Structure 1
Amino acid sequence: MPNADHNWQHDILRALRGPAVPADTPGPAAPAPSPRPAPAAAPAATERPRPAVPEQPRTPAPAASTRPARTTAPDSLPALDTAMAAVARRPTRGEPAVVRGARALRRIVSGSASREVAVLTRTAEVLQRPVTTGRQIAVTSIRGGAGKTTVTALLGTTYAHYRQDPVLLVEADPALGSLPLRLGAASLRWTTADLADIVAPQMSLLDITGYLVQLPDNAWLLPGSQGRIGAMVDTATYERVMVALRRYFGVTVVDCETLPAEVARAALSAAQARVLAAPATLDGVAGTYAVLEWLRSLPPHVIEGTVVALSVMSPRPGIDVEAAAERLATTGARVHVLPHDRHLAAGGRLRTDLLSRPARLAAARLAAEVFELSRKRR
């Protein structure tokens, strides 16, 4: 779309990729229909209503990827090996029973329950606001173990719970990413790289969802791999997929590679809002602050559309979390603290019913602010 926001995204892409990119390089665009024979039929999917977002005008397709095209349909593989699944323990609740009881008693005595309901009501109103075009939200971090995939799963499940239009979660970290495991996917078949060779403008939402993993609450997952180390997704493949899928889903949350990977940079530049996951540790906060300072050198829209999700990894963090959040906020980015939660810290499938109340409230507030920032960008 030839508008101001489109132009600044191109400027960021050029800044991130370096001077070798010509100034008139076109941005991500919808792919042209593939001339090769259609792949094997996609698995059947439950029909979902199309989101109330208009189709985007088609523009010239970017240069084709050098990755060889798949000629046969992939086999469906389990997301987690049966023997590996056997080592998992029963999932724990986010808070011990004693803490939950004491919290409930305080809410009754202090009358905070009504205030909590009012906050949730306002948050729900923000999350349910309509969009005219699909919003894309990129989640990344500066290193592994920062809570990036957990934040992606929290955002995606929150949007799917509150919104009526379809929500898509994309794994753009194919090197054994854990997003399918976090979302409880039973099996994996088609991947991000596969869909780049399949998606075409004339396809309907029902056609598209046949290649995706269905999740609860009208959410869908596009995995980056089948749980094995394989070819990495290049920037051209990522751009083709994301531009083509934008018109089908009201909100798309992308689990990116860690910075400074090329696909992660492209995802940050093209998204309407960015989330930088950071652990509440001294080195995590220091590294995140350095990245935010770099983002400040880009056009102001970038830092203004960035939110830091500061995750407390242990019951007794080694830093003053509130002071760290204030320091990060001096860069102009929004900062949200995700409190320690035993269920999140244990890994494995994310079950929102097992989250502690503080973690649920913090996740909802984070999702609402990120979504509101994305609505301000075209």
Structure 2
Amino acid sequence: MLGTSVAREVTEGTRLAQEVQQPVTTGRVIAVTSIRGGVGKSTVTALLSRIFNHYRRDPVLALEADAALGTLPVRLGAESVRWSCSDLAQILTPSMQLTDVIGYLVPVTDGGWLLPASQGRVGAPLDVRTYRTVTMALRRYFAVTVVDCETLPGEVARTAMDTAHARVVAAPMTAEGVNGTRVVLDWLAQLPHAALDSTVVALTANSPDTTLDVRAASAYLRETGAAVVSVPYDRHLGGGGPILNTMLGRDTREAATTLAAEVMRRAVRVR
């Protein structure tokens, strides 16, 4: 029985890795948002970025699209920030090569790149035009761009969710979080294209003890057509510092890989 269990685990791990590694013909943009701050949106973005960087061999970018001093640079271990989204939007040209572009980005430990929304201070809100300019241009260079959006109903967040190849809604494992996320999913259902088919809910636990019936909550959210992946509480994530794959609990790594596989499968289906 033990051998059979291990074999199944290896088979499932291989399947998930293959999903994450799917080749793309054009860069895929994955937008991550939430109904309010402090529910793990930047943590989910950083987790996805780490998993994609671990499994993929093509360039991966983590893009922060929230100028309100978000935590993405901290979560990815950025020691310094020089250029922001708005700065890069003013200098991007079609003739630039990847080697030119990465000179304005922050290299991430263990692979990948980061483009922050600000230079370590509260700045002007990122506008939709700047967001579109940067994401459309950088898709040429990066196979996967994971965007840490502002919270809904911000204009950039709504634009990002509408135009992304796949969407992730970070939701806390609370009754309020689940009910609020259901409202977001119902809104996505009204978009002119099949947005829910490419949406995954990351149900995150911010405490080791939760009274929420996770199975019932997941079933309630899946009624909309979106996928749901539960991300368990992890002391390493709860510390608030840089996220390191080697420090994550086994269940957390499996959940993050499952989330990345679900998202990539949906992103690749969109032309």
Q: TM-score, normalising length from structure 1?
A: 0.70
The amino acid across from 2:13 in the alignment is: L
Q: Matched residues in 2 for 1:351 and 1:142: separation?
A: 26
Q: Matched residues in 1 for 2:158 and 2:191: separation?
A: 12
Q: Secondary structure at the match of 2:228?
A: strand
Q: Contact (CA 8 Å) 1:169, 1:221: kept in 2 or not?
A: yes
Once the two structures are superposed, residues 12-43 of structure 1 have per-residue CA deviations (whole angstroms, 9 ceiling, x without a partner) of xxxxxxxxxxxxxxxxxxxxxxxxxxxxxxxx
Cα distance, 1:215 vs. partner?
1.2
Residue equivalent to 2:148 = 255
Q: Contact (CA 8 Å) 1:143, 1:259: kept in 2 or not?
A: yes
Q: Contact (CA 8 Å) 2:165, 2:266: kept in 1 or not?
A: yes
Query: Which structure: greater helix fraction?
Result: 2
Residue equivalent to 2:58 = 165
The number of equivalent residue pairs is 271
Residue equivalent to 2:171 = 278
- 1:344-359 aligned at under 5 Å gives the runs 344-359=237-252
Q: Which runs of 5+ in 1 are unaligned?
A: 1-107
Cα distance, 1:298 vs. partner?
2.0
Cα distance, 1:300 vs. partner?
4.8
Cα distance, 1:217 vs. partner?
4.1
Once the two structures are superposed, residues 335-361 of structure 1 have per-residue CA deviations (whole angstroms, 9 ceiling, x without a partner) of 111111111122111011111111100
Quote the sequence identity (%).
Answer: 56
Residue equivalent to 2:234 = 341
Residue equivalent to 1:308 = 201
Q: Matched residues in 1 for 2:51 and 2:236: separation?
A: 16
Cα distance, 1:233 vs. partner?
1.0
Q: Matched residues in 2 for 1:129 and 1:303: separation?
A: 21
Q: Which runs of 5+ in 2 are unaligned?
A: none
- 1:8-87 aligned at under 5 Å gives the runs none
Once the two structures are superposed, residues 237-288 of structure 1 have per-residue CA deviations (whole angstroms, 9 ceiling, x without a partner) of 1111111111100000000000000011111111100000000011111111
Cα distance, 1:218 vs. partner?
3.5
Residue equivalent to 2:21 = 128
Cα distance, 1:312 vs. partner?
1.5
The match for 1:207 among 66, 79, 100 is 100
Pair member with larger Rg:
1
Q: Matched residues in 1 for 2:110 and 2:161: separation?
A: 26
Q: Contact (CA 8 Å) 1:277, 1:308: kept in 2 or not?
A: yes
Cα distance, 1:299 vs. partner?
3.0
Residue equivalent to 1:291 = 184
Residue equivalent to 1:265 = 158
Q: Matched residues in 2 for 1:180 and 1:248: separation?
A: 21
Cα distance, 1:190 vs. partner?
0.3
Q: Matched residues in 1 for 2:47 and 2:76: separation?
A: 9
Cα distance, 1:114 vs. partner?
2.7
Q: Contact (CA 8 Å) 2:22, 2:264: kept in 1 or not?
A: no
Q: Matched residues in 2 for 1:217 and 1:204: separation?
A: 22
The Cα RMSD (Å) is 1.3
Q: Secondary structure at the match of 2:179?
A: helix
Residue equivalent to 1:116 = 9
Cα distance, 1:111 vs. partner?
5.4
Q: Matched residues in 2 for 1:314 and 1:217: separation?
A: 28
Q: 1:303 to 1:110 in 2, by over 3 A?
A: same
Q: Matched residues in 2 for 1:132 and 1:257: separation?
A: 28
